[in-house]
């Protein structure tokens, strides 16, 4: 590996390769997620609603309840309920 104008090729390559390995692992996990959704869909589950459920589960119960209440309030206020 060349040392070019102060750039240590060895060090740079090790950073690059570490990042590439991590990105590979991330890509594999994204594939796994897709497979689980496909399996659930195959068993009749609605994946869009599953995604909503998962995003709701990221919130704590009180924030979730507060947001759902406010959403209902806004719907009513604009005549959408």
Report if residue 38 touches its own copies, rule: CB under 8 A: no
Rounded CA separation 66/39 (Å): 33
Report if residue 13 touches its own copies, rule: CB under 8 A: yes
Residue/partner pairs of 55-61 with CB below 8 Å, 24 or more apart: none
Report if residue 75 touches its own copies, rule: CB under 8 A: yes
Find the shortest distance in angstroms from Cβ 62 to its own copies: 14
Report if residue 18 touches its own copies, rule: CB under 8 A: yes
Rounded CA separation 27/15 (Å): 18
Helix, strand, coil % (nearest 5) of the chain?
75, 5, 20
- Residue ranges in contact with its own copies by CB under 8 A: 1-5, 7-9, 11-13, 15-16, 18-20, 22-23, 25-26, 29-30, 32-33, 36-37, 39-40, 43, 45-46, 48-50, 52-54, 56-57, 67, 70-71, 73-80
């Amino acid at each position: 590996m060349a040392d070019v104008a102060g750039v240590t090729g060895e060090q740079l390559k090790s950073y690059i390769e570490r990042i590439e390995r991590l990105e590979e692992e991330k890509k594999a996990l994204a594939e796994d997620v897709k497979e689980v959704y496909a399996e659930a869909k195959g068993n009749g589950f609605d994946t869009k609603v599953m995604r909503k459920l998962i995003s709701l589960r990221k919130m704590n119960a009180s924030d979730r309840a507060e947001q759902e209440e406010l959403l209902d309030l806004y719907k009513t206020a604009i005549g959408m309920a």
